Amino acid sequence: MDAEDDERAVIDHLHRSGWIEKSWESDTTLMLQWTEKGKEGTVRLNELYEEAGAGNLNGRQVALFGLIAFASYKVGMDSNNVTAIGDADLSRENLKTDAA
């Protein structure tokens, strides 16, 4: 899967989840029309990134930051707050475990 396929998969997910109403490209710029639900979600995500000091990251780095945080939560942490993401299948329900 290449970067364009990844982008399309994420946009499709945002549509299915009710976060965006419409997406299109203008020249080479991705344009998104957010729903109220999506707008509220972007505000919450922005607050998280600001709190973590991620404001100086570029777009790709911000996306990776979010991915690592999400995957770490889904996989869980051991008693030393260590997460091993590796090849974890994040699509499974109730994946999070807390090894004490």
Q: What is the pLDDT of residue 38?
A: 96
Distance of alpha carbon 73 from alpha carbon 71, whole angstroms: 5
Structure confidence by residue, pLDDT tens digits, 29-74: 899 999 999 999 999 988 988 998 888 888 888 888 888 888 888 8
Where do the DSSP E strands lie in the chain?
Answer: 20-26, 29-34
The model carries a pTM of: 0.67
| CA 88 remoteness from chain centre | 16
Distance of alpha carbon 94 from alpha carbon 27, whole angstroms: 41
Tokens of 36: 């109220």
The mean per-residue pLDDT over the stretch 8-13 comes to 91
Q: What is the pLDDT of residue 28?
A: 87
Report in angstroms the alpha-carbon separations of 22 from 30, 59, 96: 11, 20, 32
